[in-house]
Structure 1
Amino acid sequence: MRSMSVAERRARLGVRHRLSPGVRTDDVADIARSMVVLHATDPATVFLSIAARSVDAVPAAVERALYDDRTLLRMLAMRRTMFVAPVELVPVLQASTANAMAAKQRATYSRLIERGSDVKDVPALFAEAERAAHEALLARGEATGAQLSTDVPLLRTQVDPAPGKSYSRPTGITTWVLVTLGCEGRIVRGRPNGSWTSSQYRWSPVEAWLPGGIADVPAATARADLVRHWLRAFGPAPVADLKWWTGWTAGDVTKALALLDVTEVDLGGATGVVLSDDLDPVPAPQPWAALLPALDPTPMGWRERGWFLGDHGPRLFDRNGNVGPSVWWDGRIVGGWAQRADGEIVVRVLEDVGADAVAAIDREAARMAAWYGDVRAIPRFRTPLERELTS
């Protein structure tokens, strides 16, 4: 069995994830392709992940890719997480993950309506609300949820989400309907109301991004294609990492792997898989530094992170497994960073990395400060070291 050392995995990470200066690019969509998708639960993550992997790109370049050129699209996918995806991968994400999630969302929201309202035919109401909301959005071109609820009276249907509980408050079904439409691939989140750190999006019909809608792909084919992309970016890795990242069942992961030509490798006591045409060593890049944001797709790409995280997890992750801002040196996490209220980027290195590494990290901190400019962004999920650095 071929062995792949930690050093080899770190070399792949630096090159494949465009973190070494020699492979950085200002092609925003290509950066996203390198990572398969970009985490977008926190809107700032998309921009800061691109900042770390680019040379001279600025926030306006990311906005142009998202909202003008529309080479990227924001959607819920794996693990019901928000991502920004290259548009050519959207059909794969839709068929492999989003369609099943849409069915679950519809079932969940329907149960809430049945339990907390006097609606007699919930499936009929939900279907009609979806149809009317989509038509209203086609007529407007783009709209906020509030605007659509004005246009579509059904969206103002009141539901008590937790009957009998003192904390429960009646709510309309606008968000439930729009989230389900988004999961179904019929509408998309467009430009936000505010800066690049805002999560208050306007909705657009999918036809505005993808004329003709999202192409149909067989689910099994789509799952295999997504696994191939992930292995190219994150392999070699244990199958358990792949199962965690996709959020699929073990059976779905096994079936997807069976459609691909993969090889098992020894990861130093654990067994991993890699695409069979990807066994050649990746030349190690020159030592590199990077400041990655909270929820960056690199540290969130694997479940087993010991080979690059060391013992820094308790300070850099919250209790739910969300990573905070991390400092990297030559393929491993060596500290954390934060933006203070006055805009200063502060760094804490948690181990001795030497003067050259400190100088390179300082240069990356200066790059990140320039990217932020006058914008201030607090990570959505606060972690112990990030809180400490901003106190």
Structure 2
Amino acid sequence: MPALRRITPADRRARLAVRHLLHPAARAARTEDVAETLVGLHATDAATVTLSASARLAEAASGPADVDRALYEDRTLLRMHCMRRTLFVVPADLAPVFHHATPKSMAARERATLVKHLAAAAPARDERWLDVAAAKALAALAELGEASAPELTEAVPELQAKITLSPGKRYASTVRVGGELLRLLAMEGKVSRGRPVGGWTSSRFRYHPAPELPGVDPAAAQADLVRRWLTAYGPGTEADLKWWTGWTFRDVRRALARIEPEEVDLGEAGRGWDLDARTPREVTPWAAFLPGLDPATMGWQHRDFCLDPAHRPLLFDSAGNGGPTIWLDGHIVGTWAQRPTGELVRRLFTESGADGTALIDAAQERLQTLLDAGELRVNFPAPLTKELLA
């Protein structure tokens, strides 16, 4: 049996610079190019979308306006729940692929959890009650055209019912069912998020009815998504794909079998898969400031090729959410935050040398110019953030 082709950590870092549009020579002209190349942008924290796109656009300062154009004027991008039941911004023409690649069991689990919360508050509120409330909510939304969660809750009395989330936990909270039902309907593809209620850092949105998406064979959709992931993130392991998609190993292996990528040797990371053998050989030094939940931070389960394992606890919370990062030549070398005064502050984990520090300074200034309009609200800070802002 012939030996597997070896792909080194340095090879992977060179690929990341170009394929993730982070090297200045690889930056994109439009947000649509960024979202398609990266197979979606994390949108759980609304600010991530704009900051991730801006870091990869030729003109960073144009980021907020260009994201706004793509999402709300041209509607070439849309927010939807897909991988890991997480909210992403994806190309609108690929929405059927993302939707049908997401196992229906994910939305079913969310529905079952909501029914459980409803029954705990009032036993008569069972799944049938939820179906009636959902039908009324969809009818009201169709009549209104679009509405925020509070507006729709006001219009549909059933949505004013209260439930307790995470009962018994220190972070338990009591909320109206309207917002949770809208989230479920969005996961089921029945409603879509529109403009935010507030600026680009706001995570509160207006909703509108979603058109029914064209049918796609789920297995074909999953194979398409894996092919796109390998093109942007490859090489990667089955564990990386399971982490990124939220699927079972069975789903991952079935998709890999359909596209037949090359099996490769990733050294300490084990055996992986690759679709494109090309690796840029001449990647000049670069630096970038990326937000929490950025695709480059969240793209793999095994990140040793770009992150010293000793630094992982400084950047990732217990749920695996990565905070803001500073990158230098494909390595995560630090984290950053913004003070209430608007000033950016940073913490570097390693010495960067004079040339590296100059690149980091320039990347910080690029981000500072973008954020001068106001303080950034980060919903997923790094564990080190509190210390950084002290």
TM range (shorter): over 0.9
Which of residues 192, 195, 205 in structure 1 aligns to 2:199?
195
Which stretch has the larger CA shift, 13-22 or 172-181?
Answer: 172-181
Contact 2:325–2:336, Cα closer than 8 Å, also in 1: yes
Distance in 1 between the 2:292 and 2:171 partners? 31
Q: Hey, what does 2:293 align to over in structure 1? A: 295
Backbone CA RMSD of aligned residues: 2.1
> For residue 104 of structure 1, what is the amino acid of its counterpart?
R
How do residues 237-276 of structure 1 correspond to structure 2 at under 5 angstroms?
Answer: 237-269=236-268, 270-275=270-275
Deviation at 1:4, TM superposition (A): 0.6
Q: Which amino acid aligns with 2:252?
A: V
Residue 175 of structure 1 and its aligned partner are, at CA, apart by 2.1
> How far has the Cα of 1:387 moved from its partner?
2.2
Describe the shift of the 1:174–1:98 C-alpha distance in structure 2 as closer, same or farther (beyond 3 A).
Answer: farther
Distance 1:163 1:182, change over 3 A: closer
Task: For 2:327 and 2:217, locate their aligned partners in 1 and report how far apart those are by CA, in whole Å.
Answer: 39
- 1:301-358 deviations in Å (ceiling 9; x for gaps): 0011111001322222223322221111111111222211111122332222221111
Given that 2:226 and 2:256 are in contact with CA atoms closer than 8 Å, whether structure 1 keeps it comes out as: yes
Tell whether 2:132 aligns with 1:128: yes
State the partner residue of 2:277: 279
CA contact (8 A) 2:103 2:247 kept: no
8 Å CA contact 2:53, 2:63 repeated in 1: no
CA distance in 2, matches of 1:115, 1:348: 45
Distance change (3 Å), C-alpha of 1:265 and 1:303: same
Shift of 1:167: 9.7
Query: In structure 2, what is the equivalent of residue 185 of structure 1?
Result: 189
Q: Encode CA deviations 1:261-300: one digit per residue, 9 max, x unaligned.
A: 211101114111112xx12333332111111111111011
Deviations 1:234-256 (A, max 9, x none): 11011111111111111111111
Amino acid of the residue matched to residue 271 of structure 1? R
Matches within 5 A, 1:112-261: 112-119=117-124, 122-159=126-163, 171-207=175-211, 213-261=212-260
**Residue deviations 1:180-229 (CA, integer Å, cap 9, x gap):** 2101111011111111111111111113xxxxx31111111111111111
Distance 1:261 1:161, change over 3 A: closer
TM-aligned CA deviation for residue 164 of structure 1:
10
Offset of 1:113 from its aligned partner?
2.3
**Which residue of structure 1 lines up, in the alignment, with residue 34 of structure 2?**
31
Aligned pair in 2 of structure 1 residues 28, 98: CA closer, same or farther (>3 Å)?
farther
Structure-1-length-normalised TM-score: 0.92
Letter in 1 for 2:120: R
Deviates more, 1:302-311 or 1:105-114: 105-114
Tell me what 1:84 maps to.
Answer: 89
**Structure-2-length-normalised TM-score:** 0.92
Contact 1:112 1:161 in 2 (8 A): yes
Q: State the aligned residue count.
A: 383
Q: Is the 8 A contact 1:116 1:162 kept in 2?
A: no
Counterpart amino acid of 1:272? Answer: G
Measure the CA separation in 2 of the matches of 1:148 and 1:371: 34
Picking from 54, 64, 69, the partner of 1:59 is 64
Alignment partner of 1:107 out of 105, 108, 112:
112
Matched residue type, 2:245: T
Once the two structures are overlaid, the 10-residue window that deviates more, 2-11 or 98-107, is 98-107
Query: Can you give the 5+ residue segments of structure 1 that lack an aligned partner in the other structure?
Result: 208-212
1:314 corresponds in structure 2 to: 313
Q: What SS is found at the alignment partner of 1:376?
A: coil
8 Å CA contact 1:116–1:161 kept in 2: the answer is no
Equivalent pair of 1:96/1:219 in contact (CA under 8 Å): yes
Note closer, same or farther for the CA distance 1:150–1:21 as it changes in structure 2 (3 Å cut). same
Letter in 1 for 2:357: V
Which residue does 1:388 correspond to in 2?
Answer: 387
